[in-house]
Structure 1
Amino acid sequence: MSERAAPFYCPYCGDEDLRPSEAGHGAWDCAACNRAFKLSFLGLLARGTASPKEAPSDD
């Protein structure tokens, strides 16, 4: 497993003073707004690689 990805800023206040939380994997504490949040990867979207719809012609 790779290293944990770190967020660059708090999703609530935008500050960068984040610390890994003791709550577990993916949990972070923001020292600026005193909030805790958790990040997790849900999976890949099943949309595929379909091309955009073509515009109808004016013929």
Structure 2
Amino acid sequence: MTTERATPFYCPYCGDEDLRPEEETPNAWLCTACRRVFSVKFAGLSLPEVTSQ
């Protein structure tokens, strides 16, 4: 398990770019424009299945 934050570039609600880490909630970000707190999770990559012939 990784403890690094996934870094968003903009708020998914209002689109503003002024985001701050939210210290009270682990792995969460505060948007200073709309005051929403949200988290981002990287789930992984979806790679095409390779079949052998």
Assess same fold via TM > 0.5.
yes
Q: Output the CA distance in 2 between the equivalents of 1:34 and 1:49.
A: 45
Greater RCO, 1 or 2 (C-alpha within 8 Å, sep 6+)? 2
Q: CA deviation at 1:35?
A: 0.3
Answer with 1 or 2: which has the greater Rg: 1
Scaled by the length of structure 1, what TM-score is found?
0.63
RMSD: 2.4
Counting aligned pairs with the same residue, the percent is 57
Q: Output the CA distance in 2 between the equivalents of 1:39 and 1:2.
A: 12
For structure 2, the 5+ residue unaligned runs are none
Scaled by the length of structure 2, what TM-score is found?
0.69
1:19-42 residue CA offsets vs partner (Å, 9 max, x unmatched): 0111012x1000100101010122
Pair 1:4-2:5 in alignment: yes
For structure 1, the 5+ residue unaligned runs are 51-59
